[in-house]
C-alpha cells in the first residue's frame, strides 16, 4: 500500500504529490503559449523550482520571471527568464 506523501510549496499544503501536480498543471493550462506568468504564480513557481533536482543549474544567476511557451507534441511548458537574459524551460513535474 502506498502512503500519501504531503507536499508544501510556497505556503500551499497538498495532501499528496498528485495534488501538487494537478495544481501546477491547472496553473500551466491557464496560460497560452507566449503569456507571461503572473507575479503571484511566479512566486509559487520560484519556490517550486527550488525543489527541482537540477535547481542550481536551472536557476543559474537568478530568476527574473517566468512565461509559458509551446513544447513538444502540442503541449506547453514553463520557461525561466533569468536576470542575465538567458532562458531555459523546466518540468514542473520534476519540482514535485
pLDDT for position 42: 96
Task: Output the nine-digit C-alpha cell for 19.
Answer: 495534488
What's the rounded Cα separation, in Å, for the pair 61 and 64?
Answer: 10
DSSP letters, 25-58, are HHHHHTS-TTPBPPHHHHHHHHHHHTTSTTHHHH
pTM of the model: 0.91
Alpha carbon distance 36, 57 (integer Å): 22
Fold of the 7-95 domain: Nuclear Transport Factor 2; Chain: A, (3.10.450)
Query: pLDDT tens string for the chain (96 positions)?
Result: 678 789 999 999 999 999 999 999 999 999 999 999 999 999 999 999 999 999 999 999 999 999 999 887 888 999 999 999 999 999 999 999
Sequence spans of domains, the chain:
7-95
User: Residue 1 has what pLDDT?
Assistant: 65
Q: What is the distance between the alpha carbons of residues 27 and 40, in angstroms, rounded to a whole number?
A: 11
Amino acid at each position: 500500500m502506498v502512503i500519501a506523501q504531503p507536499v508544501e510549496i510556497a505556503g500551499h499544503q497538498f495532501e499528496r504529490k498528485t495534488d501538487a501536480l494537478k495544481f501546477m498543471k491547472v496553473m500551466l493550462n491557464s496560460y497560452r503559449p507566449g503569456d507571461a506568468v503572473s507575479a503571484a504564480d511566479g512566486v509559487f513557481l520560484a519556490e517550486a523550482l527550488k525543489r527541482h533536482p537540477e535547481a542550481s543549474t536551472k536557476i543559474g544567476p537568478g530568476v527574473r520571471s517566468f512565461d509559458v511557451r509551446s513544447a513538444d507534441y502540442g503541449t506547453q511548458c514553463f520557461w525561466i527568464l533569468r536576470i542575465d537574459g538567458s532562458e531555459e524551460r523546466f518540468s514542473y513535474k520534476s519540482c514535485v
